[in-house]
Structures are given as structure tokens and as C-alpha cells.
Chains A and B, each alone.
Chain A
């Protein structure tokens, strides 16, 4: 347990950032928060596995992509389309925060009941991973703007990343690299979609996409 302590601190920070993301309407702040969250997460492999080559590559890759490249792209995108705030979310900020709290509590209760191996029992990785996944989902469900949707996916991926940490030794580097690459491509696609929605419908609301059904 002891060697988890600095990591546990980081994970608690991740949860705090989750709550901030659910409660904030300012897009710029949200993007920066996700960037910091990604940066914190990129330190995790070093705390968990020491300064091995594998962990270094993982940390470096995650930091470059999650901490720098993707936030940069997103910030540039909101500058280009001139938006600063998420207006009129489908569900208000306070209810979303409440739901997020419930989900986080649920994640902690649930992870106690999971049949884990002895080494992972009681660690914060699994509940925090689940809570971050739930945060990403809530973000995706409640927000309208394409950019907040992209943020939702990023948070979602952060959750997956926390989960993957436990498996980092077993997981080939290629898999992790593949996930990161997917994410980058997803952000690119989201950028293009955003641009197109903006041009076609003069708005960035994904709700307009429902006119495409059937």
C-alpha cells in the first residue's frame, strides 16, 4: 500500500478535477483542466512502475498527447469558432454535479465488491478509473456543444488510462500507443465535424445532427 501513496494523492486530484469539469461552464478552463488532468495521469506510470523504459515511454507519450497536443488543438478550435461557454446544457450543472457525486460513490462501493487480485485490493486506481469513466459519460450525455463532447471523450479516455495503469506491465506498448493514436484521430475528426456543423447549421450544437436520422 505504501508505495501507492504519492499515486493516491494524484488520483484524488483527478477526482477533484472531475468535479470541476462537471460544474464549470467555461470552455477554456475545462480544456486546461483536462490538460492538467492528463498531465497528472502521465506521471502515474512512473510512480507505479518506477523509471523503466516502458513506463517512461508511456508517460512521455501520454504527456505529449494528453497534456499538450490535444488541448492545444482544442484551444485553437474554440478560438476559431469564437465560443467561450457551454450554454444551455441538457441537464443543469448542479444536478450533473450531484449525479457525478453519486457515480463516484457508486464506483467506490462497486470496486470493493469486485473480485480483484490481492495486489490491487484497496487501491484507489479502480474506483477512480470508474468514476472518471462515469464523469466522461455524464459530460457526453448532458452537454450540447461538439467541443464539450470531445472533452467528454478525453475524460473517458483518461478513465480507461487509469484502468490500464494496473495492466501496464501485461499490456504491450503497442496497445497503449494505439489507444493514444485513436484519441488523437478522434479529436481531429471532432474538429472537422465541428467545423462542418458550424458551417452547415451556423451553430455548434450536436442536437442539429438529429435532422440526419433516417
Chain B
């Protein structure tokens, strides 16, 4: 705990020091800001590691003159489990950002950027360690605000600012539900201390269900669960890449933490709570990955993939709740382990991919997949690391993505085989849907790799692309190595998740500690596969060395002079699933440019895949709400006398009210 406080202190120090150099001192600011973020994350990692290795919980208390609040922190297995990815991604992000921000493309001065960055890590660490409702909300709001300022780094672009507003609106509407939860919870418990929330366990089922729904909406808007994900695909591309990594890898997970931690105080819920989570989860996963397949902006595609992964995590956690409520303890244990491991894994490989996308942007000067191409040859290290991340996210060995999903599949299979009738049918359907999601993930990742990395450059900028500096690729390499380590030693992931599971479900944790469930053979398989890949690579290089391969443009459908513009574009790559698989509500808007006649005119083809939920649900709703509320604008007269009249009338009314009592 002391080390964690040192880390907190370092973040505050870094936030202040980064401001000191002011204009012109960009290099010093970067050094101070990222340096203290890195040091703080190292301290925090040691603290989280100690807590994960040890037993029990540590508490920390500071006097805080805030009515109803107290600065009380608590570091237990669950907090440490979430601190681990936070500090890993925070550390690599700081290293990455130190180089990334040098590009001069970001308009935000590095000093201010590093202030927000340090404060964002600090507030996220506070969110997962807070043991008081008010402190939690305080840290939660700080997290929202600092990340908002990081999102609008390039504030001179209109779309960035719009993304920022959407994000701020979504996150504040979500926070309103959290306020409602904490107010009603403290009304029952008499205090905002988490320790006193234990009495919530005695609530009746309807009240507890209402509180659970408040939590689900409140945290859901931050976690990006369907249909509250609308801010995510806009905000992630707008932010600098290491910030996208931190937001997508860790910040959305703090919402899962809040959901787990606070719903743990409620009485053990009925099966439909889990069922609801599962339904939202699988719909979100299918929706997210379908949208990811249609985006030509590489970071937008990755952002939708985050929606998909949050869906998978939610599916697993929902299945855990449902199985526990129905008394299927083995399936519950598998589902819980799967959800937690996938959560940890996603933090690692999604950060890796976002940083990789940032390096591609850095190299080729665009987020548009159709303006990349041929980058594997120009940015070999980045390219290799992106392929590693792609393998991990597609749940392919020898990387870590497989382990979490294996547990989730095991859980579904377990209850699908044990249960009979319709009850056993649903898990099997879910297996099919999850496999569909997994297949689509491979489509999305081969699309990014194939269009951006393989082939010939599709723009002059891409042809001039250069490898990223060492801080950028080394931080990505660190994440990739962690992904590999997780794939080779699944037992590590299982133990870390088991420590968090002891707090959520002690029964499941004891089951998981049983070595019979340990997927050690997955690790051995990963090692064998890794050996095979290395051997094949060596063989290929040896053969290539003997007879060099001629290079030419991609096959251009038989045109006489093929150029890279005629090769498969990002949109055409996923045309088949678009036309054959997706339901009509997802269909992208295209402006068809068919060629007619023998001597066709110049034609154009437009393709856009805006978020259907945002475009058809939220935008009309908010427009309607704005219309209704604009009637109140008359109250804002702008006349001092009228405002004074309001105050006077309010005072008189209050006095009458007091007189009545």
C-alpha cells in the first residue's frame, strides 16, 4: 500500500512538473511527464504484484474534509487484478507516447498532455482502490474529465471536438445513474463507506434488481456495452494512440470493475441478471465485430473490436452469474475465470494493437487503411508486432487470447452437456454465436494486416513510410512478449484471475485452484507451435535467399497496367460478409457509382458505415429532447431584474413553505 501511495505521489508530481517548462520546453516536459508516469507505474506494479502474491487486503486512510466522504483506500485481490493491466499499459503507453508526441502532429502541448496523462492514470488507480462511494465518484469524474481532455488533443479538428462532446455527454449521463445508485445505496446503508455496503445484501429482490440495473446502465455507458457504446468508435480514433490504448485497454475495464465490485454488495441475484448480461454481451459482440469489419479507419475498426471484446467479457460474467444462481458451480468457475482472463488479455493485446495502429499512422500519415499498404516491408518491427497482436486478438495460439476464450467455451460446453432440454440448448447456441464472432475477428484482423501491411503502397505517403523510433516499438514489443508469456504459461493468468475470483466467488476460486482444470497442455501446444512457426520462417528465409522473389503490383483483374489502386480495398475485403451475413440494419450507406453505357462517364463510389445506434436511436432522441427543452430558453431572459424576481419569488415561496411546517 505504501508503494501505491508513492506511485500516487509520483503521478501528482509528474502532472505538476510537466507544466513547469511551459512553452518552448517541450522536450523537458515530455521527459518529466513521461518519466514520472513510468516510475509511478513501476512502483504501482510492484505494489499490485505484492498484493496479488500476498493474502488479505490492505487499507489506507487519510483525513479528507468532505461531508459524507472519506479518503479511504483498500487494496485487495480484485483491485490488484485491475491495477496490473493499468500499470502495464500506463507504463508502456508513457514510453510510447514520449516518442509519439514528438511527431508535432498533435496540437496539444506536450506539457499539458503529460499532465492529463498522469492524472488519468492516477484517477483510474483511485477508482479501483477507492473504498468510499464519494471518493469513488470523485475519482470516476476525474477519470472522465482527464480522458476527455486527452481525447480532444487535436482540438482544431471539428470531428475530434464532436467526438469529445459525444464522449463527455455519454460519460456524464452514465455518471448520473451511478449517482442515483450511490445515493439510494447510502440511504439503505447509512454511509458511503464500502464497508457499510454489506447491509445491502439484505435488500429485497425488486429493490436489488433496480440497483443492479442502475449499475448496469451507469457502468455500461463507460464500458461501451451495447447500446451505450456510441461514444467509443468516435473517441478512440480521435485520441493520441497511446491514450486510445489506455482508454480501450484499461479505462473501459474500470467500469467492469465497478460493476463487479458494487454488484458484489447486492444480494446474490436471480438467474435473469446473468441472462440479461449474456444477452447484452452476445449482441454487443456480434454488433461490434460486424461494425469493425466495415470501417476503413484502422483505429475505428479497433474501437469497434473493443465493443466486441467487452461483449465477450460481459457474456462470460453473465454466464457466471447465471450458472451460480442455477447452482452449476463448475460452469460458473470456468465462466468467471474466462471472463477475468479475457479482460486481462484484452488490455494487453488491444493496447498493443492501438499502439501498432498509431505507429502505422505515424509512418504513413493517415488512419485510412486505403492509404496504407506495403508497410510490412517498410516497418518490419511494427508489422511483426501487429501480426502478434492480431493473432492474440483472434484467440490463436501461441498467444494469450486463446486462454480466456478457451475457458469461456469450456464453461458453455460444460453446461451445454450437463443440462438437458432447452436449458442446455442455449449455451450451445451461444457457442455457435461466439464461434461466429471469433471467425469475424479473424476477418477483421486479416483485413487490417492484409490491407495495411501486405501488398504495395496505396499512397505516396505510405511509400515513404519509416519505422517508428525505439521507444515506440520497444513498448509494443514488451506488450507482445507479455501476450506470448500468457499464451505459453496459462497457469500464470489462471492464478492472477483466481486471486481476484476469491473475492467475487470463493467457491469458484477453490474449484479453479484445483490443478485438474489447469490448461497446461495449451501452453505446451503454444511452445510447439511457436517452434514450428520459427522453423518454417527460417526455412522460408533460407529458400528466399537462394532464389529471390520478383515484386510487382497486386493482381489487378486483368488490367493492362495494374496499379496498387486496383487491388482489394478495405471495403471490398469484407463485401461478402456485408452482403451475405449482416442484417439490413447494419448495411452501410453506399452511393453507387455504376458504369452505364459503352462510353461511361466518370463515376464515383462512396461508402460510409456510421453507427446505426447513434444515427437511428440516440441522435433522434436527443434532437427531440432538445426541441422539448428549448421551450425553457424563455426563462433565460438576460434581464437582471427578471433573475432577481426569480430569486425573490423563490425566497417568498420557501418562507411560506417554512411557515406551513
Contacts and interface: CB of A to CB of B under 8 A. Distances in A.
B634 interface: no
B640 A209 contact: yes
Given A110-B655, A114-B659, A140 B644 contact: yes
B126 to A, nearest CB: 36
Given A137-B644, A137-B648, A141-B645, A113 B659 contact: yes
A210 B645 contact: no
B187 interface: no
A214 B636 contact: yes
A110 B659 contact: yes
Sort A-B residue pairs by CB-CB distance and give the 10 closest, nearest first: A213-B638, A210-B638, A137-B648, A140-B644, A113-B659, A141-B644, A141-B645, A141-B641, A206-B640, A210-B639
Contacts of A212: 638
Interface in A156-214: 206-207, 209-214
Interface string B600-637: 00000000000000000000000000000000000011
8 contacts: A134-B648, A138-B648, A141-B641, A141-B648, A207-B639, A210-B639, A213-B636, A214-B636
A149 interface: yes
Contact of A209 (B636, B638, B648, B655): B638
Contacts of B648: 134, 137-138, 140-141
B641 A142 contact: yes
Contacts of A206: 640-641
Interface in A8-59: none
B293 to A, nearest CB: 44
Contacts of A214: 636, 638
Interface string B169-203: 00000000000000000000000000000000000
Nearest to B658: A114
Given A137-B644, A140-B644, A141-B644, A210 B659 contact: no
B644 to A, nearest CB: 5
Contacts, number: 40
A90 interface: yes
What range describes how many residues of A lie at the interface? 20 to 34
Interface in A92-117: 110, 113-114
Contacts of B636: 213-214
A141 B646 CA distance: 10
A142 B644 CA distance: 10
B637 A210 contact: yes
Contacts of B638: 209-214
A211 B640 CA distance: 11
Contacts of A138: 648
Nearest to B637: A210
B640 A149 contact: yes
A113 B661 CA distance: 9
A211 B638 CA distance: 7
A142 to B, nearest CB: 7
Chain B contact residues: helix, strand, loop or mixed: helix
A26 B525 CA distance: 97
Interface in A117-149: 130, 134, 137-138, 140-142, 144, 149
Given A114-B659, A137-B648, A214-B636, 7 more contacts: A140-B644, A141-B644, A141-B645, A141-B648, A142-B641, A210-B638, A213-B637
Given A137-B648, A214-B636, A90 B641 contact: yes
Contacts of A209: 638, 640
A63 B638 CA distance: 36
Nearest to A211: B638
A192 to B, nearest CB: 16
Contacts of B645: 141
Contacts of A144: 641
A134 B656 CA distance: 14
A95 B389 CA distance: 79
Nearest to A152: B644
Contacts of B659: 110, 113-114
Interface in B107-157: none
A211 B637 CA distance: 10
A175 B637 CA distance: 34
A134 B648 CA distance: 8
B646 to A, nearest CB: 10
Contacts of A130: 655
A110 B641 CA distance: 25
Nearest to B660: A113
A160 to B, nearest CB: 13
Contacts of A140: 641, 644, 648
Nearest to A130: B655
A46 B375 CA distance: 89
Nearest to B655: A110
B240 to A, nearest CB: 33
Contacts of B647: 137
A144 B639 CA distance: 10
A53 to B, nearest CB: 33
Nearest to B646: A141
A114 B645 CA distance: 24
B272 to A, nearest CB: 48
B500 to A, nearest CB: 50
Contacts of A213: 636-638
Interface in B258-292: none
Contacts of A134: 648
Contacts of A114: 658-659
A213 B639 CA distance: 9
A141 B637 CA distance: 14
Contacts of B637: 210, 213
A207 B637 CA distance: 11
A149 B643 CA distance: 13
Nearest to A142: B641
A150 to B, nearest CB: 12
Contacts of A141: 641, 644-645, 648
A212 B639 CA distance: 10
Contacts of A113: 659
Interface string A70-103: 0000000000000000000010000000000000
A201 to B, nearest CB: 14
B488 to A, nearest CB: 61
A149 B644 CA distance: 11
A66 B641 CA distance: 24
A214 B638 CA distance: 8
Contacts of A210: 637-639
A210 B655 CA distance: 30
A140 B643 CA distance: 10
A207 B641 CA distance: 8
